[in-house]
Amino acid sequence: MRTERGGSLKKTYLRNFLGLVVIPILLILGVALSAISLMVHRTAIEGMESDQSQIVSTLKTETQNLSIQLSHFVSANNDTAMGIAAGLDTDDFSARYAAESKLSEAFQAFISPDSRLLSAMFCLKSGRSAYLKDTILIPMKDLRGSGWYRAALAHPGSVQLGGYNTALFSLTYSSGSRGELVLVAALSPDAFIDRSGKVETVALFVTSGAGAVIRNAQARSGAACTAILDPGSKVLFGYPQKPDVSSVLSQIGDLRPGVFEKSLRIGGVRKKYTYLISEEPYTKWKVFTAVPTGELTGNLWRIMAPALLVIVGVLALFFLFSNYFLKNIIDPVHSMVDGLRRLEEGDLDTRVEPAGHREIRDMIHTFNHMVQHLKTSIQAEEAERQEKHEAEMRALQSQINPHFLVNSLNSIRFMAQVSKYDSIRRMAEAIIKILTCSFRSSSSLYTVREELDVLDSFIYLMKIRYSNGFDVAYHVDKACLDLRMPRLVLQPIVENSIVHGFRDTGEDIGHLQISVHRDEKFLYLEVEDDGSGMTEEEIRRVLSSGENEEKSGGHIGISNVSTRLRLRYGGLFSMKMESRPGEYTKTILRIPARSGGGEANEQSPDRGR
C-alpha cells in the first residue's frame, strides 16, 4: 500500500493512471470511432434498403391487386361490362346516357370500394371515351401516346401498367394531394372478352401508397433523392427533384440492382455518391435512391466532437478528484487490509478503528460487525455441534434399551400365553405395538389404519389404568384408511383428553370421539371429549409445553405433534383446538391427503366404523 522511500504515491498513481487508463482510453476511443462510423454507415445503408424494400413491396401488392381488379371488372359476369361499354358507341344521347348509367352500376358492383381509386376509363375504337367516378384531365391524344396504352394495344388480353406523378400536373379534378404516384392498369380486350369489337382499352387509375413511403423516407434523410423507373429507365415518379435524377442516371449508365458508390458531377460539383437500386419483379420497375456518401455519417462527427470534449473534461476532473481524496482513502483501506489479514490468521478479536470518508467508515463499521457476528456464529455453531454430539451419544445409548424392552415384553407375553393369563398377554402385546411404532424413524410414514391400530393399543392400556372410566367411539371414513400420515399423531392428543380432560369427572363416565374424514385435498383428524375443558391460557400452554417435556424425558406433547407436522407439510398443515370449560375439548388436525403403500395391519380391531 506504500511506495518506496522518497516516492510519491500521488505521482505514482497519476503516472499509472495516465499510462494505464488515459492513453488506452484514447486509443480505444479512436478505434471505437472508426467502428462506429462504419456501423453508422452500414445502418444508414440498411435503412435505405429497408425503405426500398417497403416501396417495392407496396408496388408489388398494389400492382397485383390493381391487375386483379381490372381483370375481374372486365370479365365478371360473362363480360357484362364489355357488353355495356359497347353501347356507348352511338350518337343517340339517351342511349349513351343509359349505357353510362348501367356501366356505373356494374362498376360499383364488380369493383371493391376504395378511396384511392380515382377513375375508370373506357376508350372505344371509334374515338369515343367514358370515365367513371372522375374524369381524367390528360388529353386523349396524350393518353393514347403513353407507353402503357401502346403496350396494352400491343398485347391484347394482358394487363399493362404505368404511372403518373401528380407533382407535374393534375390528373383529375379530385386527385387529392400533389406529389402522389398514380398507378394505371390498362387492358385491351381481345375477341373472347369483347365480342362486339368496339372497346379498344379499359383502364383503372389508383393513387399508390408508395408516394407516402418515399416521403417518409425523405423526411428521415433530406439529402437523398428517390425515383421509380419504368423498364426503359424512364422516371415515373421522383422525389425530390434536386439533384436532378435524370442527370444522375445519365452518369451511372448500368442500373442493375445492388448498392454502389460512384463519383458524380452534380451542379458543377463532383462528389462521391452512394446509390441503391431495387427491382419490383412483377412490373420490372426499379426503385432508385442516391445520397452523397458523406451525408451517411455526417451527423456522427457533429455529435462526437462535444463528446470528446466531455471525455477530456471528465478525465481532468478525475485527476483533481484523485488528488483530493487519495489521502483520505489509502490509509483507512490499509488499516482495513491489516484487519482482514489478522482475521485470516484466525484472530476473531480483530477490530479496526473507523477513519476516512463516510463510506469508508461505514465499511469499517460493517467489517467490525461482521467479525463480531462471525465470532458469535462460530461459538453458537460449536455449542450446537457439542449438543448434537451429546444427543447422538444419548441416542446410541438409548438403542440398547428398546431392544431389551421389546425382548423382555415378548418373554412376558409368551409366559402369559402359556399360563393362559389373557389380560396380561393383551397388555404386553399393546405395549409391544406402541414401543415398536415409537422406535421407527421419525421421518417414516404409515397408513391411517396403522395409526388407529396403535391408538387402539394405547386406549386399551389407558382403560386398564383408569378402570374403564371412559368410552371411545370411532367415526372413520373407510376411504381414509390407506392414506399415509406421520406416526404417533393421534396418541398425544388422545392422551391429553384422557389425562387432563377426565381428571375431574368424578364417578361419571367420560366419552371420547375420534373422527377421520377427507375432502379432495386434505385429511382431517378430530379428537373430541366431554371432559373438564380448558381455558384459552391452558390451550396456549398445552401447545407450547412439548419441548421441555421432551428434554425432561416425559411424554411426547401436543406441541411436538404440531412442530413435526408443520416441518413436514408447511402451510398445508393446520391445527385448531376448541374448548369450553366444564363442557368439551375438540382438537382438529388438517394434513394433505396422500396415498401410497403402507405397512398396514391386515388384522385391525373393530372400532365401530
Confidence of residue 67 (pLDDT cuts 50, 70, 90): confident
Q: Which of 488, 470, 511, 465 is nearest to 564 (CA)?
A: 488
- The average pLDDT across 522-535 equals 92
Q: Which of 608, 3, 10 is nearest to 323 (CA)?
A: 10
189 or 29, higher pLDDT = 189
Residue 2 Cα to chain centre, angstroms: 52
C-beta of residue 95 within 8 angstroms of C-beta of residue 87: yes
Cβ-proximal residues to 247 (8 Å cutoff; 6+ apart), any chain: 266
Give pairs for 442-445: CB < 8 Å, separation 24+.
Answer: 442/564, 444/486, 444/487, 445/484, 445/485, 445/486, 445/487, 445/596, 445/598
Confidence of residue 586 (pLDDT cuts 50, 70, 90): very high
d(CA 213, CA 274): 20
The 3-state DSSP composition of the chain as helix, strand, coil percent (nearest 5) reads 50, 20, 30
Element (H, E) at 289: strand 286-292
pLDDT on residue 4: 44
- DSSP codes joined into one string, 93-154: HHHHHHHHHHHHHHHHHHS---TTEEEEEEEETTS-EEEESS-B-S-HHHHHHSHHHHHHHH
- The average pLDDT across 127-135 equals 85
- DSSP codes joined into one string, 422-451: HHHHHHHHHHHHHHHHHTS-TT-EEEHHHH
User: For residue range 340-372, what is the model confidence (pLDDT) as tens digits?
Assistant: 888 888 788 888 888 777 777 888 888 888 888
pLDDT on residue 514: 95
199 or 174, higher pLDDT = 199
398 or 581, higher pLDDT = 581
472 or 37, higher pLDDT = 472
User: For residue range 226-247, what is the model confidence (pLDDT) as tens digits?
Assistant: 888 888 888 888 766 555 677 7
- The average pLDDT across 298-316 equals 74
- Is the CA virtual torsion 604, 607, 608, 609 positive or negative? negative
Nine-digit cell string for 370:
461482521
% the chain with pLDDT above 70: 81
d(CA 546, CA 419): 41
Give pairs for 579-583: CB < 8 Å, separation 24+.
Answer: 579/533, 579/534, 579/535, 579/538, 579/539, 580/533, 581/532, 581/533, 581/534, 581/535, 582/532, 582/533, 583/530, 583/533
Residue 382 pLDDT > 80: yes
> Which SS3 state, helix, strand or coil, does residue 320 take?
helix
pLDDT on residue 5: 41
pLDDT on residue 608: 39
Nine-digit cell string for 201:
382499352
pLDDT on residue 3: 42
pLDDT on residue 439: 61
Confidence of residue 396 (pLDDT cuts 50, 70, 90): very low
User: For residue range 590-603, what is the model confidence (pLDDT) as tens digits?
Assistant: 999 988 754 433 33
Torsion, CA 138, CA 143, CA 147, CA 151, rounded to 10: 150
Range with the largest mean pLDDT of 197-201, 327-331, 336-340, 346-350: 197-201
pLDDT on residue 602: 36
Range with the largest mean pLDDT of 76-90, 198-212, 578-592, 594-608: 578-592
d(CA 340, CA 348): 10
d(CA 64, CA 42): 32
Residue 142 pLDDT > 90: no
- The average pLDDT across 395-399 equals 49
> Which SS3 state, helix, strand or coil, does residue 263 take?
strand
Site of grid cell 470528446: 308
How far apart are the two ends of the chain, measured CA to CA in Å?
Answer: 83
The partner residues of 313 in beta bridges, in order of sequence, read none
pLDDT on residue 472: 93
pLDDT on residue 415: 67
pLDDT on residue 137: 86
Residue 34 pLDDT > 90: no
Phi, psi of 131, rounded to the nearest 5 degrees: -125, 140
Residue 421 Cα to chain centre, angstroms: 74
C-beta of residue 438 within 8 angstroms of C-beta of residue 488: yes
pLDDT on residue 132: 86
C-beta of residue 412 within 8 angstroms of C-beta of residue 421: no
Please tell me the least confidently modeled range out of 182-186, 564-568, 583-587: 564-568
pLDDT on residue 527: 94
d(CA 96, CA 323): 98
pLDDT on residue 598: 42
Please tell me the least confidently modeled range out of 164-168, 194-198, 440-444: 440-444
DSSP state of 21: I
Residue 191 pLDDT > 60: yes
Confidence of residue 604 (pLDDT cuts 50, 70, 90): very low
C-beta of residue 374 within 8 angstroms of C-beta of residue 344: no
- The average pLDDT across 361-384 equals 84
User: For residue range 541-581, what is the model confidence (pLDDT) as tens digits?
Assistant: 877 754 444 443 333 478 888 888 888 888 899 999 999 98
User: For residue range 486-524, what is the model confidence (pLDDT) as tens digits?
Assistant: 888 898 899 888 888 887 766 778 899 999 999 999 999
pLDDT on residue 19: 82
User: For residue range 414-453, what is the model confidence (pLDDT) as tens digits?
Assistant: 666 666 667 777 777 777 777 676 666 555 688 999 989 8
pLDDT on residue 1: 45
Mean pLDDT estimate for the chain: 78
